[in-house]
Structure 1
């Protein structure tokens, strides 16, 4: 089970970073090629269910993507310090952990993904080949997130 641990410095106070991070419907503004839908009636706290679609939209199939459906449930909620989502999809599985720490510049955030690789031995052998692309995607997302959270109305 590989872990990806990616830090980012955000020039905003933890409360603003938290609000930006847990604004689930706005994740597509900082996560490339992703749309997020809140499936539950509430969008805060443990038990929130999310469906993220990452990929290329299919213009002839409204709301459909050629890509990955990432279903999640929030399993920990400790504002403005820590939120954990459990990925429950067929491809993306395992906990995603976001931890925020106050810092002189604003907030240090660490995004950890504990990946449960799909496809058994094939997934394990293929991971070294896809890991650089996954890390690149996360790095781009984090840079965009830092700007999104900084510029968000506080």
Structure 2
């Protein structure tokens, strides 16, 4: 196994509690996460041991990613263990206040790749990084709408 890590962050002009509520709303992640649909597979989805599933792809062609929440510390930190046949490793996000009333959202993924897949990582990594950055930019817009939907000013 070879580990490869991706990290991306974005500033969001909303309080950490709003950012946390938006980023941890699993059923709505597909509204901002590129080509992905997420659902709670087991448990409440808001505590360690809860299981999540995500399908990333187009139509029926894609990858199923199963996860188990390992750390749940609202409104600051969530980490998951990827437990699927293809996607293995850990991932998560951290929400930090930025000192100006907004937040910084850091999203990270640490993939455990079989050696044969690791050889292709240099070709795949730029596309995966682009998708993550694009998704986080979409998240900032989603968060603004999410705040309005919650009746916050």
Q: TM-score, normalised by structure 1?
A: 0.89
Residue among 131, 136, 142 paired with 1:142: 136
* Alignment correspondent of 1:125: 119
* Alignment correspondent of 2:49: 47
Residue among 78, 81, 92 paired with 2:76: 81
SS in 1 for 2:107: strand
* Alignment correspondent of 1:98: 93
Residue among 63, 69, 92 paired with 2:64: 69
Q: How many residues end up aligned between the 2 structures?
A: 145
Q: TM-score, normalised by structure 2?
A: 0.90
* Alignment correspondent of 1:116: 112
The structural deviation recorded for 1:105 is 5.1
Distance in 2 between residues matched to 1:10 and 1:121, nearest whole Å: 37
- CA distances 1:65-96 after superposition (whole Å, capped 9, x unpaired): 21000001110000100000111112211111
Unaligned runs of 5+ in 2: none
Distance in 2 between residues matched to 1:41 and 1:108, nearest whole Å: 28
* Alignment correspondent of 1:60: none
* Alignment correspondent of 1:25: 27
* Alignment correspondent of 2:40: 38
SS in 1 for 2:112: coil
State whether residues 10 and 105 of structure 1, in contact with CA within 8 Å, keep that contact through their aligned partners in structure 2.
Answer: no
* Alignment correspondent of 1:15: 17
State whether residues 7 and 106 of structure 2, in contact with CA within 8 Å, keep that contact through their aligned partners in structure 1.
Answer: yes
Question: CA RMSD for the aligned pairs?
Answer: 1.2
